[in-house]
Structure 1
Amino acid sequence: MSQSRTEQTESKSTTILSALGSKYSAEILCAAGTPKSAQALSNDIEIPIATCYRRIQDLVDAGLLTCEGRQLSEEGRRTNIYRRTLDEIEVDFSDDHPQFSRKRRTEAKNRIQDQLED
């Protein structure tokens, strides 16, 4: 593997592990199985909204959470809606660098989940 490719892999690994290692990140990912705003996630998990926004940004940067769009809040403001991008992640530390295997969420699963929530 080239030096540049190795550095990219290490950087991505560090980003993912850092995001997963932060307090509340796992709870946010579990709660974001259906599209939710940062305020809804904050309320569901009972954490301060500023902390929730920081964890959301870390998870988005790591590719574990995505912004699915925007909707109007109860106050009439446009707010981002987030959903996790995977259902499972496995970390293998047996090599020189962590290796990740992920079970990504499919669009079909998202649509089914959305229908069950309605």
Structure 2
Amino acid sequence: MPRSKRTDSDPAGVLSALGNKYSAEILCAAGTPKSAQALSEDIEIPIATCYRRIEELVDAGLLTCEGRKLSEEGRRTNIYRRTVDELEVDFSGDQPEFSRKRRTEAKNQLQDQLGD
């Protein structure tokens, strides 16, 4: 059965992705472009778990694949970066509502030049 893709306009998908173990750590570590392997090593989690969380965060619109680069082993690998710097959840209504502070391309470029 095909899996349905969540979007960042789906509050349940965003909450589900954020509720999983290691998701917040991955988002914090992905302020600069990183491969799944680098994220896995940075936060010391198994690579299979890291790939699952990355997929959930991408589906929820919180993480994006910025492209591919060559790994040290010579393989092409996806590079990920978070799409938000802040996320506020309001539970006062019938459904949760989100307020996002999206990352700008200018901020991404500046952070890339400054490094971690």
Equivalent residue number for residue 91 of structure 2? 93
Equivalent residue number for residue 101 of structure 2? 103
Which structure carries more helix by proportion?
Answer: 1
42, 46, 49: which one aligns with 2:47? 49
Query: How far off its partner does 1:40 sit?
Result: 0.1
Write out the 4+ residue segments of structure 1 that deviate beyond 6 Å after TM superposition: none
- Of all paired residues, the percent bearing the same amino acid is 83
User: Which residues in structure 2 correspond to 1:1-118 (within 5 Å)?
Assistant: 12-117=10-115
Deviations 1:49-73 (A, max 9, x none): 0000000000000000000000000
Return the index of the structure with the highest Cα Rg: 1
C-alpha distance in structure 2 between counterparts of 1:82 and 1:48, whole Å: 17
Give unmatched runs, 5+ long, in structure 1: 1-7
C-alpha distance in structure 1 between counterparts of 2:78 and 2:91, whole Å: 35
Query: How far off its partner does 1:117 sit?
Result: 1.1
Deviations 1:80-104 (A, max 9, x none): 0000001000000000000000000
Name the count of aligned residue pairs: 110
Give unmatched runs, 5+ long, in structure 2: 1-5
Equivalent residue number for residue 5 of structure 1? none
- Superposition TM-score, scaled by structure 1 size: 0.90
RMSD: 1.7
- Superposition TM-score, scaled by structure 2 size: 0.92
